[in-house]
Structure 1
Amino acid sequence: MHDLRVGFSYLVQGQRWVARHGKQFGVGLIPGLITLVLYLGALVALALWGSDLVTWATPFADDWDSPWLGLFRGFLTVVLFALALLLAVVTFTAVTLLIGQPFYEKLSESVDRDVSPDGTAPESGLSLWRELVISGRDSLRIVFRAAAWGVLLFALGFIPFVGQTVVPVIGFFVTGFFLTEELTSVAMQRRRVEVRDRLRLLRARKTLVWGFGTPLALAFVVPFVAVFLMPGAVAGATLMARDLLGEQTGDGDGEDESEGHGQGQGQVRGGSVTW
């Protein structure tokens, strides 16, 4: 319960940080707005033609009697849209971070400088194009993992009662985990922490991750909310990354108000994670 509260406090602190830094907040909205337009177009297209897709995919049901044919295909259409929405929530952050890499890098660096005792921020030393390639590669790895979970949860959704109650709850926790991985990657990549090590750090403190990511996943179901929360989510994830890596936080605007800050599971030494 302690780590859940701490994780949520990072989310709140991130939103407070961007509220105090209006310029960073305004610039951070641009990538989210671009991604929102793209995703809304895709979801609207699925809403309009999803039933046709289900009909094409289930020719074996053409001869079923009414009302079973309508109920079956209607259920599949709803599940298909729900799965698409889940994947949209999971991948929204990855796509937005990829589009807004330069914006969010700058925001994350500003948070680091603000809370670091010596006023400095780690730098990767890589060119922008190299960072974009690494970010895109790592995002694809995470999206594939998230998609595998999505397919599993989609299949479990057919189980009566459990599929309509337990599975959606699990889905939000899974989504929250992957959202947190994507958001912390902005700060982690500047520290040259590889995706495998990032996942290891996050798995070691799942309750901390869920406290941060699960409320965010619930909020991200509403597209406009996702856009406005993204800058603060990046800021909060930077604070969480410092905690996970055991970095000391000073008394800047982003001062951590939670207990246990800076007592993460690892730290960066020489470009890699050690425990």
Structure 2
Amino acid sequence: MAPLKTLWDEFAEGARLLGRGFALYGRNPRLLLLGLIPAVISFLLLGTAWFFLLWFIRDISAAVTWFADDWGSPWRGMTRFGAGAGIVIVSALVSVLTYTALTLLIGDPFYEVISERVEGRFGGTPGMPDLPWHKTILKNAADSIRLIVLGIAVSVPLFLLGFVPVFGQTVVPVVDVVVGGWLLAVELTGVPFNRRGLRLKERRAMLRANRPLALGFGMPVFVILLIPFAAILVVPAAVAGSTLLTRKLFGLPIEQTDKGEQRVVARV
């Protein structure tokens, strides 16, 4: 097992790559506009779903805890509170994954351009295919659906654990962030991986071999996506960061001067 300091350094490096993605994306107004269009559409769709979920959360909690209808206070209230917390936690994980997948699908041509330009400035993909977006969009969509299904499957035990008082409202959210961060790292690197002709299996294997790096990148994305309006800016910036993360996994150059990085976004 690697020393704790090494694991922490890798985790911090993943977060740093995300920060560089934000810097690359935020320096060019045109990129901001291109990235915002699909992000806003997805935000409106998921925001509507969250509005109705929170509006009816008490009714939903009561419906899934029908067995507690005849219980006295405080047990009925505690059970329904735990159910409500579990529903929100599960919904957060699923909605974050769905938001990312939907945004990537709607904005696939835009995000492919962003990723491709970053790759080009840092040396391209030597010795590997560099497929255009229209040849990867179906693969991206299929892999995203698989990850959403996996996220739902993982959400079931988290939902059940949400019924446990205290534990369900403290430990479960932390597990939610770790699991969600991992799945987001896998999902966001789909753009640069699929352009290389590599699918979900290869992607997961490489990220698994560099798990602290992947979690350092994905967990901050997950947390930021929980912030309503900040979520609009995350996916396009994270695509730029995930391109750098992918290059690092393949041992390709990722270090350039600030001037060089500004030329990346200026070309889009």
TM-score w.r.t. structure 1 length?
0.84
CA distances 1:92-125 after superposition (whole Å, capped 9, x unpaired) = 2111111111111111111111221799995225
Which of 164, 171, 179 aligns to 1:166? It is 171
Which of 100, 107, 115 aligns to 1:93? It is 100
**Residues 1:46 and 2:53 aligned together:** yes
Stretch moving more, 199-208 or 221-230: 221-230
CA distances 1:196-228 after superposition (whole Å, capped 9, x unpaired) = 110011111110011111112111110211111
Answer whether contact 2:85 2:169 (CA < 8 A) is retained.
no
CA distances 1:239-268 after superposition (whole Å, capped 9, x unpaired) = 10111122234636349xxxxxxxxxxxxx
Deviation at 1:235, TM superposition (A): 0.4
CA distances 1:126-170 after superposition (whole Å, capped 9, x unpaired) = x72x53321111111111222222222222333443333222212
Answer whether contact 2:78 2:165 (CA < 8 A) is retained.
no
Q: Distance in 1 between matches of 2:15 and 2:65?
A: 43
Deviation at 1:232, TM superposition (A): 1.4
Q: Distance in 2 between matches of 1:200 and 1:14?
A: 23
**Residues 1:115 and 2:126 aligned together:** no
Per the alignment, residue 58 of structure 1 pairs with: 65
Q: Distance in 1 between matches of 2:200 and 2:126?
A: 26
Q: Distance in 1 between matches of 2:9 and 2:42?
A: 34
Deviation at 1:54, TM superposition (A): 3.0
Q: Distance in 1 between matches of 2:195 and 2:125?
A: 17
Stretch moving more, 179-188 or 71-80: 71-80
Over the aligned positions, Cα root-mean-square deviation in angstroms equals 2.4
Per the alignment, residue 248 of structure 1 pairs with: 253
Answer whether contact 1:219 1:225 (CA < 8 A) is retained.
yes
- SS at structure 1 position matched to 2:230: helix
Show structure 1 runs of 5+ residues with no match: 256-275
> Structure 1 149/38 Cα, relative in aligned 2: closer, same or farther at 3 Å?
same
Number of positions where the alignment pairs a residue of Structure 1 with one of Structure 2: 253
- SS at structure 1 position matched to 2:116: helix
Q: Distance in 1 between matches of 2:64 and 2:165?
A: 22
Which of 14, 39, 44 aligns to 1:7? It is 14
Q: Distance in 2 between matches of 1:117 and 1:95?
A: 27
- SS at structure 2 position matched to 1:246: coil
**Residues 1:142 and 2:147 aligned together:** yes
Which of 234, 238, 245 aligns to 1:233? It is 238
TM-score w.r.t. structure 2 length?
0.86
Q: Distance in 1 between matches of 2:256 and 2:89?
A: 43
**Residues 1:77 and 2:111 aligned together:** no
Per the alignment, residue 198 of structure 1 pairs with: 203
- SS at structure 1 position matched to 2:136: helix
Show structure 2 runs of 5+ residues with no match: 1-7, 263-268
Per the alignment, residue 271 of structure 1 pairs with: none
Q: Distance in 1 between matches of 2:150 and 2:141?
A: 14
Answer whether contact 2:86 2:159 (CA < 8 A) is retained.
yes
> Structure 1 92/118 Cα, relative in aligned 2: closer, same or farther at 3 Å?
closer
Answer whether contact 1:29 1:230 (CA < 8 A) is retained.
no
Which residue type is aligned with residue 219 of structure 1?
I
Stretch moving more, 100-109 or 77-86: 77-86
